Structure 1
Amino acid sequence: MKTEEEEEEEEEWRSAREVLLIVLPYLPSLFELLSMTRVSRSLRDAIRDETALWTNIVVEPPLSSRLTDDILSDITSKSAGKLKTLILRRCLRVTDTGLRRVVDSNPLITKIIVPGCSGLTPEGIMECVVSLSKNNHKVETLHINGVNGFTKQHLSALLTYLSSSEGATIDLEVCPKCDEIRMIPACSRESCNLKQTNERKCRGCWLCIPRCAECSVCLGPDTESQEAACGNDDVLCLECWLVLPKCRFCNKPYCTNHSSRRHEIATTDAAARPSFECEACYYRAGTNPYEVDYQI
């Protein structure tokens, strides 16, 4: 027989769990969701059994390096076939077989975002998109930059299977300067946008036109730029470099797309400004708090 105090505590926990289940779908990535499963056994079970929490899967570094086909299949199976968004950033160990297994089990997927997943191939991506196009279903967003080997023929074929609705996107196209299949970002410089998109001189891929890693503005010889912490020779225009938070050691900022690589530094001073270390400075110290188990 439970005491009145125990019943009150149980009721408070039920209420708290209901609130958590409302908040959890807004967590930015799988890492945060898996971290929440360590709070308690009951919360872990609640997260595992709540299908709605698994309809949008986002895997980013540093978890990306540990994701395999089998782990991906296990994670996406928790959506019970209702997966809609699959975002895998730099998951080098995921193959065509693993992606196809997910697609076959989740025919409602509308977004496939797999930048830097070099274990995938154009043929594997094509098969997945064709499979999803059955029963009048269309993929609305397809981001495949970093998957090597795409040709004009692949691109042309993919476009026939993508949704024609407004807002549907694919992140690759033919660069008008080098004639290769690459990303062509929109320039944010006002003087460039005064002209038609196909006429502006800075229209080209990242290799043909130097750009700010944050705002994509073209960087001409008269534009002051600064090095970013992102690596790959990424640079930032001075305006973006000034406003972005910087590593406390090397004073280099990450662009927004790579902000997940920051290693935040905890502080007990509520008035202190948030502080972080970039990957290079952090791993130089030889510690890593991101050892999170995929199993829940």
Structure 2
Amino acid sequence: MKNEEEEERSVHEVLLLVLPYLHSLFELLSMNRVSRLLKNAIRDETALWTNVVIEPLLSSRLTDEILSEIASKSAGKLKTLILRQCLRVTDKGLRRVVDSNPLITKMIVPGCLELTPEGIIGCVESLTKNNHKLETLHINGVYGFTKHHIAALLNYLPDVGAIDVEVCPKCDEVRMVPACSRRSCKESKERKCRGCRFCVSRCVECLVCLGSDTEVQEAACGGDVLCLECWLVLPKCRFCNKPYCTSHSGLRQEIEDTDDAARPMFECQACYYRAGTNPYDAFDYQI
């Protein structure tokens, strides 16, 4: 009995060492359920709450009140706030967290549709008081930004690359304008391919511009295209032979195989739903 208790204690000690390396709130909450010891350790350790990362697994459940409660666990020492597609978080809720945590250096809120440009500018203004520096601001997917809003933000975040969106030089809209990874484009002073994805066709994987001299392949993501180099190295659907890009790899329908030596196989969603419950029906999906 004593040996079992000592073994259990040693296991918990190892798990306690792992806690600082957990990536997101979902992982912390999952560890909460392991034991009362871990639950208390997570609750009482302020350092674990200085980086709050909330991703789509929990995004839909997050409200202003829950966000405020989570942020309060850092005791005002929150440094990184990442909210991905949190559709119920409003300007008021975000501002409450920002005002209580003036040490935030990274604020990432892509796809938070209830936020407004004015609300975000107010938060940025608050976080840059008293010579404090906000190093990173990601707002892609927050609607309503104009070039005037971006100009206002640049007064507080002048460093190049601090904001993930900018005014597209081709269409004059506020969008992400990725840097082309093609060597000739990097070395060119004209940067003719500089523009958002609506103005310049790009490989969704490596962001290289896709000109008339580039062989283009279709991805399984729906409307996305790939350069030949990326298409060749990505895993393909076993039926339509289309790959998912890395950011959409979670959409793959994995196929179990009893042969451990066999290469992993998957079906894209289109083939999976056409096939129904019998995977071999997919051979008839074009009928």
TM exceeding 0.5: yes
State the AA in 2 paired with 1:118: L
Bigger drift between 52-61 and 33-42 goes to: 33-42
**Is residue 216 of structure 2 the alignment partner of residue 225 of structure 1?**
yes
Task: Please say if residues 61 and 260 of structure 1, whose CA atoms lie closer than 8 Å, have aligned partners that are also in contact.
Answer: no
Instruction: Summarize the Cα distance change of 1:209–1:275 in structure 2 as closer, same or farther, 3 Å threshold.
Output: same
| 2:226 corresponds to which of 236, 261, 279 | 236
Deviation at 1:77, TM superposition (A): 2.2
The equivalent residue for 1:194 is 187
- SS of the equivalent of 1:236 reads strand
Change (3 A) 1:218 1:68: same
Report if aligned partners of 1:61, 1:261 keep a CA contact under 8 Å in 2. no
Give the counterpart of 2:127 among 103, 123, 132: 132
1:203 lines up with 2:198 in the alignment: no
CA contact 2:51–2:79 (8 Å) conserved in 1: yes
The answer to whether the 8 A contact 1:230-1:258 is kept is yes
Q: Percent identity?
A: 76
Cα displacement string for residues 23-70 of structure 1 (whole angstroms, at most 9, x for unaligned residues): 233333332332222323332332232222222122222332222222
CA distance in 2, matches of 1:267, 1:16: 33
Once the two structures are superposed, the pairs formed by residues 124-273 of structure 1 within 5 Å of their partners are 124-162=119-157, 164=159, 169-196=162-189, 199-231=190-222, 233-246=223-236, 252-259=242-249, 271=261, 273=263
Query: 1:212 is aligned with what amino acid?
Result: C
Q: Quote how far apart the aligned CAs of 1:189 are.
A: 0.9
For 1:206 and 1:156, locate their aligned partners in 2 and report how far apart those are by CA, in whole Å. 21
Report how many aligned residue pairs link the two structures: 276
Asked whether the 8 Å contact 1:60–1:260 carries over to 2, the reply is no
User: Which structure has the higher relative contact order (CA within 8 Å, separation 6+)?
Assistant: 1
Partner residue, 2:283: none
Cα distance in 2 for partners of 1:255, 1:32 equals: 25
1:169-197 Cα distance to aligned partner (Å, 9 max, x none): 1111121111111111000111211212x
- SS at the partner of 2:73? helix
Equivalent in 13, 22, 30 of residue 18 of structure 1: 13
Quickly say closer, same or farther: Cα 1:56–1:227, change in 2 above 3 A: farther
Q: Which runs of 5+ in 2 are unaligned?
A: 278-287
Q: Which amino acid aligns with 2:179?
A: A
RMSD of aligned Cα (Å): 3.0
Query: What letter matches 1:71 in structure 2?
Result: I
Cα distance, 1:221 vs. partner?
3.0
TM-score computed with the length of structure 2 as normaliser? 0.82
CA deviation string 1:197-239 (max 9, x = no partner): xx111100111001111111111233233333445x2222222
* Stretch of structure 1 that moved more, 265-274 or 41-50: 265-274
Superposition pairs of residues 266-285 of structure 1, within 5 angstroms: 271=261, 273=263
Any stretches of 5+ residues in structure 1 without a counterpart?
287-296
Contact kept in structure 2, 1:92 and 1:116, CA below 8 Å: yes
Letter in 2 for 1:149: G
CA contact (8 A) 2:179 2:194 kept: yes
Report the equivalent of 1:290. Answer: none
State whether residues 61 and 90 of structure 1, in contact with CA within 8 Å, keep that contact through their aligned partners in structure 2: yes
